[in-house]
Amino acid sequence: MVENRKHSVSVNELIKQNKSKRSGKIIEKLIPFLLLLCGIISILTTVGIVFTLIIETFTFFNQVPIIEFITSKEWLPFYSGEDASYGIWPLVAGTLLIAFIAMIVAVPIGIASAIYLSEYASDRIRKLIKPVLEVLAGIPTIVYGFFALTFVTPLLRTFIDGLSIYNALSAGIVVGIMIIPMIASLSEDAMSSVPNSIREGAYALGATRFEVAVKVVLPAATSGIVASIVLGISRAIGETMIVSVAAGSSPKATLDPTESIQTMTAYIVQVSLGDAGYGSTIYYSIYAVGMTLFIFTLIMNLIAQYVSRHFREEY
């Protein structure tokens, strides 16, 4: 009786195991299809965005010659009739000026932070600073924009006479502060991936900690650091709310950071708020500007991928 009971129990357990194996096999077969579906949705979304940009951009170029868009140095879309001008270069100049100022701020501070976290900081300090950087990266950009307008600009006006309330300098500085965590985190990851044996070899030759960090670890992590800088530039080019709030809305092809300028993203925000009617030339101009911005960011991302692949060190 006991043996029969044991036998019956073991049979029931085997039946349950077989059922669980069957359900597990079904799940295993479904998971690849679900993952494939997610990938297809991502690809279709990207294709849909690019397709919309291309179609609406061609509609704009049916109304405005592409030669004028590329060669004209004036962006005056709100003028009437023949006085209107759609030269993209003032918006491009403003965007690049903001990105340039931002990188002057972000690159030295970001790389210095990465060197400290990777080569000098103890595990306790690293665990303390890393979350602070992540919090800095998580602050909404609109908050950064008001910070630039209400704190950075008044502070700069105490040192710079004639500084406009809306200017490229304060907006660029705050954009640089915003992208410091990106550059610092990615650069620190690249430097931490350098094997300790390389550091130990440099120490054995008599190098100091600073020399090891700057002359050994930094060159070995060049691909990751350069990729983080290029991605930071791409992020600065695509920034919207900070420049919309603090940089102004005066499209100028100028290199003077104390003046009010307008970037491509700020113009898109301005028109999207209702300054132009649907179907008008001004309305379609935001798609042409968006396509230009898309091309810039795409080039930046391709450069980052090329640098990370071409200069990657394998240990």
SS (H, E, C) the chain: CHHHHHHHHHHHHHHHHHHHHHHHHHHHHHHHHHHHHHHHHHHHHHHHHHHHHHHHHHHHHHHCCHHHHHHCCCEECCCCHHHCEECCHHHHHHHHHHHHHHHHHHHHHHHHHHHHHHHHCCHHHHHHHHHHHHHHHHCCHHHHHHHHHHHHHHHHHCCCCCCCCCCHHHHHHHHHHHHHHHHHHHHHHHHHCCCHHHHHHHHHCCCCHHHHHHHHHHHHCHHHHHHHHHHHHHHHHCCCHHHHHHCCCCCCCCCCCCCCCCCHHHHHHHHHHHHCCCCCHHHHHHHHHHHHHHHHHHHHHHHHHHHHHHCCCCC
CATH number for 175: 1.10.3720.10
Tell me, yes or no, whether 99 and 234 share the same domain.
yes
Q: What is the pLDDT of residue 223?
A: 81
Show the domain range for 24: 2-63
Q: What is the pLDDT of residue 78?
A: 75
Tell me, yes or no, whether 220 and 275 share the same domain.
yes
Q: What is the pLDDT of residue 5?
A: 47
Q: What is the pLDDT of residue 17?
A: 59
pLDDT, tens digit only, all 315 positions of the chain: 444 444 445 666 655 556 555 556 677 777 788 888 888 998 899 888 888 888 888 888 888 888 888 888 888 877 676 777 888 888 888 899 999 999 999 999 999 988 888 888 888 888 888 788 878 778 888 899 889 989 989 998 888 887 888 888 999 999 999 999 889 888 888 888 888 888 888 888 888 888 888 888 888 888 888 888 888 888 888 888 888 888 888 888 888 888 888 888 888 888 877 666 777 788 888 888 889 888 888 888 887 777 777 766 655
Tell me, yes or no, whether 217 and 103 share the same domain.
yes
pTM for this model (two decimals): 0.81
Tell me, yes or no, whether 36 and 87 share the same domain.
no
Q: How many domains does the chain have?
A: 2
Whether 121 is in a domain gets the answer yes
Tell me, yes or no, whether 104 and 38 share the same domain.
no
Tell me, yes or no, whether 118 and 246 share the same domain.
yes
Tell me, yes or no, whether 218 and 300 share the same domain.
yes
